[in-house]
């Protein structure tokens, strides 16, 4: 049975599929390599550092830093990989979706 059988009201993620024209809001003529060259990497690094260390009231950071949470989530995501069929793993972000999103270990 498919996930749609158990969760028929789930949001369709088909537009987000890799290499789909529906998932590319910038169009086929957009040059990603050129856009990356204009990126201010130092500013990006500072922004990421600020996000990682700015605790939010609605999701407090453990000891003032979100790094341990990110590491734990990556560990749990990698633990979903199945050798039998090659599904799961940390490269797809499936922890956001059922049934993985309901497992107590996959939350803060």
Decide yes or no: CATH 3.40.50.970 for domain 3-106.
no
Domain locations in the chain? 3-106
Q: How far apart are CA 90 and CA 106, in angstroms?
A: 12
The answer to whether the CB of 52 falls within 8 A of the CB of 40 is no
Query: So which residues are the catalytic ones?
Result: 76
- Using the predicted structure, report yes or no on whether residue 106 has a pLDDT greater than 80: no
Please write the tens of the pLDDT for every residue from 39-66: 999 999 999 999 999 999 998 998 999 9
Mean pLDDT of the residues in the chain? 82
């Amino acid at each position: 049975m498919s996930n749609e059988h158990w969760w028929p009201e789930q949001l369709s993620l088909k537009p987000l599929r890799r290499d789909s024209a529906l998932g590319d809001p910038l169009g086929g003529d957009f040059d990603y390599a050129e856009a990356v060259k204009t990126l201010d990497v130092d500013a990006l690094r500072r922004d990421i550092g600020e996000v990682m260390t700015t605790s939010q009231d609605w999701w407090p950071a453990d000891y003032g830093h979100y790094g341990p949470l990110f590491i734990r989530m990556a560990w749990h995501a990698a633990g979903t990989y199945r050798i039998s069929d090659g599904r799961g793993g940390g490269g797809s972000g499936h922890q956001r979706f059922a049934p993985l999103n309901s497992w107590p270990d996959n939350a803060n």
